[in-house]
Structure 1
Amino acid sequence: MAVMAQQRVRGSGPPQWWRHGPPWWNRPGDEDARGTAWPWLSTVLFTVFVVMGTHFSARGQQGHREPLDAYAGLLLVVAPGLLLWRKRYPVFVAFGTAAVTLVYAAAGYPYGPVFLAVAVGCFSAVVTGHRRAAWAAVGLLWAGHALIALWLYRWLPPPGDSGGSPGQEVVVATWVVAVVALSELARTRREQWARERAERAQAARRRADEERLRIARELHDVLAHSISVINVQAGVGLALLDTDPEQARTALTTIKAASKEALGEVRQVLATLRTPGDAPRAPAPGLDRLPELVQQAASAGLTVDVEGDSPSLPPGTDLAAFRIVQEALTNVVRHSGSRHARVHLEHGGDALRLRIDDDGPATCAEAGGTGHGLAGMRERAAALGGTIDAGPRPDGGWRVHAVLPLNLKEDNR
């Protein structure tokens, strides 16, 4: 009680279980496993309650109703006993409990908690989606009881029964409507809880997919650039191994440095797969590492001219800008015959503009940039609300033009 009180004090809304469902509620994802289970314990306890409660209430009805006998005992066990099938066959249970209870009432036996079996059966049918069957079952019970109380009582036990009045049947009908209304409320809350759980599960899957996409994009950008440099230097080393050993040694040194850096960045990306909440061990790269990127491109035989300065950027925007330039230069190394590229940085009041140009021509059929690299650049820009345009220039060569907004308060990641 103290915990519930603290929850109500801390929050102005309803308690947590009201929004998401109590822990004991039958969850939709568990229906195959739990929904078909046999509710033995609850059925036995409820049957004992009905039998003992009816015997207790019968003491105050002696002389007015028929005494309890073996047939009455059978009906008192069968009515609540049908609830054992309420999860598997809710419609059958709703009509079965109503029919058995109606037979019990027609036999003139004492009134008691046997009528609660119909309420439980109706409740189970409504919350599982069988609303019409539940309404029909309780309507059948009420109509039968009214027929007995207002007309058939003359020919049914107990002898000398004076029957009931229309006012009493109105009270009974009110109780019936209250039971069904409560069942409808429970059904509505159950469906709402199910929708909320499905939405939370979908949101969790979406976050997982986005995280996998981010990791895949990071790995692609890191490996594609480093392996391109390694591939070029390996070719240089093999070509000069016999004629110019010193130049071949320089190429091997570049391969070692590039592979070491790639391994470090791969470890940093994979570190995000550790326990959630762990902070990264190293800061993410940004445009402050652009000189290092130019040096790596130079080791692969590509001369890069950088124009303009970068402003202070949020971490996510800084990383995206660095990866876009890195991927664009990687594509020049891999797909262009040009050995010269230009990187132009321009920032206004609301956006950072990146332009990477090379003079071409393309050296393979894939120079159009339809692979994962271009898709990754577009995804990075789109995640920040920016755009990427990539295509051939009118005077030859290839251009990548990126626009990244700068009006973000903070990076989402």
Structure 2
Amino acid sequence: MSGHVAGTVTRRRLADAALAVVVGALVVTTAAFDGDTRPVDYALIVLGSAALAFYRGAPLAVLAVTTATGAAYVLHAHPGTLAALPVLGAVHTASRAGHRGWAAAAGGLFLAAYVATGPMTQEVVEKTTLLAGWFLCAVVTGLADRNWQAYLRQTEQRALEAERTREEAALRRAGEERLRIARELHDSLTHSISIVKLQAGVAVHLARKRGEEVPPALLAIQEAGGEAMRELRATLEVLRTDEPTGRPAQLVERARAAGLAIELTVTGDECPLPATVDRAMYRIVQEALTNAARHAGPAKVHVQLDYEEDGLTIRVDDDGTADPARPPTPGNGLTGMRERVTALGGTLHTAPRAQGGFSVRAELPLEAAR
């Protein structure tokens, strides 16, 4: 983004310089055909025209310089009407910047200097009238340009506001839908899974009480019921909130408390992240640790966060039982992780490591998110 802004500023400066060169070239060429133009006159023309290159930053200063040099030039050399071009440009830009009173006063001062160059002949009156019309047009077009730019800014602001309102409404509807789905899942599945788990537990208990061998299928049902309940609770927690519930360090602490051997490393200058990147970072680390706890076995896990100027790299490696020869089938967790990263314009790599275990690497750009 900074490169784009710098390029825009450079192009504007080049355009302003080109304007000054064109205006100066026209006035100098006209003065050259007069035949009696002196070096001091050329110096006044060049100074007044060159000032136009700075009209964006200092419109009043440019107006003062061009008016002073223009008035001095017409009083000294008695040129034609084209000598007013630098002053006309400065009057227009000053009026566009909101200084219409100063612009009109500068035009009047230049006209007074032009009238003072000689007797009031019909030719002088006609040229003065023509110049007065030009200065009036410069002031009016400057005001019109200012109003037009204000209208464009207001239109853009209204469009941004409407877009923000639509996004907020969409997020609100999505949140309401998530809560509805969470309630439906809780009311329908939680009860059924609890009954299955309870019945299996009672059957296992009675079998052991009678001294009978517990059928493997019954144990599998009991274990599957417990796992299904844990999965359902985790799903309901995600549905009820789409915002991170803490920091990656808290995830690491909870994983350690659950018995997972884990290490966290943070490199670079840790800084506040855009909300979308912060949320994605939390969910990626959460999902990677969840997968490690489920599938890696008694493994060691290393979480690394690399903060860079233009992006964030998240890496979660474990030395578990994953085999490169038998890559796992991506489940909903890895699919959701990839969708989050892709939505931010980042890249995600998930695969078993050559030395054993599993690796998750996500690279999230920051400029686009900002």
Q: Give the TM-score range, shorter chain.
A: 0.3 to 0.5
Which structure is higher in helix share? Answer: 2
TM-score of the superposed pair, with normalisation by structure 1: 0.42
TM-score of the superposed pair, with normalisation by structure 2: 0.47
